[in-house]
Amino acid sequence: TPAAPGKARCRPGAERCPAAWLPGLQLLRRGSKAVTRHWKAMHFQRQKLLALTEYLRPRPAVPPRCLPRLPSEGHEERSHAQVLQRQVQETLRCSRMLAVCQYSSMADEDLVTLRHYLRKHNIHLHFVLNEIVRPVLERSKYRELLPLLVCQNVLLASPEPRAREMLRVLRGAPQVTLLGACIDDTILSRQGVENFARLPSLEVSQGQTVAALSLLSSQTSSLLQRGPSLLTALLDEHIRRLRDTEGPTEPPPGENTGNQ
């Protein structure tokens, strides 16, 4: 039965509420309903937690041969040094004259002029580091030149022994001082190089050698012919003297018959 006005209505099966009793707090729902489909920013701490606990799928394994090689600075330096050492070895192998000079700083124009005059005589100027050229010289026949490599040095290489031309060009460049050289597998000091430059050319030396050999052969021939000719002269003189001494002692046959 509907409750009388002014009285509280009780649920069925519950205890009856006292007459004229009203609840002290009554919740009333007003406004629109809550919609959870609209986007809402996630809390910052929850974002960090999800980022930390996110599942990362493992990448498939790649064979090492398919991976790009990482450039190594030390490996590149060693490769560059090996290339420079091979160039020095090629220069030493093709050179009959190798000179070591001390180099002082000079103007670029003077250096270009010096290179030009040296190249006219087929002499090449090489700037090399002592760290590069020392290991090469230690394993070659030029190891005796190692004490000369103590500062900034340059190498003058030529396939022909052009000591005279090299000294003539270096007189005009006081910044390049000759320390020593190796010419035709012979180690020479600065004074030795100057003495070698004073020697005549190969053609003149060959002519002098041929003249000396021909003179010796002619002298040998004359010496060999001198003995027989002297012996013949002595025999002729001996026969003549014998004839002179035998003439007066033995009279001619006509005189003996006339006296009888």
The reply to whether 192 falls in a domain is yes
The reply to whether 138 falls in a domain is yes
pLDDT, tens digit, 9 for 90 and up, residues 95-126: 999 999 999 888 999 999 999 999 999 999 99
Residue 189 above 50 pLDDT? yes
The reply to whether 157 falls in a domain is yes
Give dist(CA 156, CA 97) in Å, integer. Answer: 8
Q: Residue 114 belongs to a domain with what CATH number?
A: 3.30.70.1730
Q: What is the pTM of this model?
A: 0.53
Q: What is the mean pLDDT of the chain?
A: 81
Mean of pLDDT values over 39-54: 90
The total number of structural domains that make up the chain: 1
Q: Is residue 170 within 8 Å of 176, Cβ to Cβ?
A: yes
Q: Which domain holds residue 111?
A: 83-198
* Nearest partner of 215 among 223, 227, 204, judged by Cα: 223
Q: C-alpha angle 98/99/100, rounded to 5°?
A: 125
**Residue-level pLDDT at 33:** 66
The reply to whether 159 falls in a domain is yes
The reply to whether 156 falls in a domain is yes
Q: Which has the higher per-residue pLDDT, 77 or 142?
A: 142
pLDDT, tens digit, 9 for 90 and up, residues 62-86: 888 888 877 665 556 678 888 889 9
Give dist(CA 254, CA 143) in Å, integer. Answer: 99
pLDDT, tens digit, 9 for 90 and up, residues 17-36: 565 666 666 666 666 666 66
The reply to whether 258 falls in a domain is no
The reply to whether 104 falls in a domain is yes
First to last CA, the chain: 232
Residue 5 above 90 pLDDT? no
What is the b/e burial string over 64-83, where b = at least 16 CB atoms within 10 angstroms of the residue's CB?
Answer: eeeeeeeeeeeeeeeeeeee
**Residue-level pLDDT at 255:** 52
The reply to whether 237 falls in a domain is no
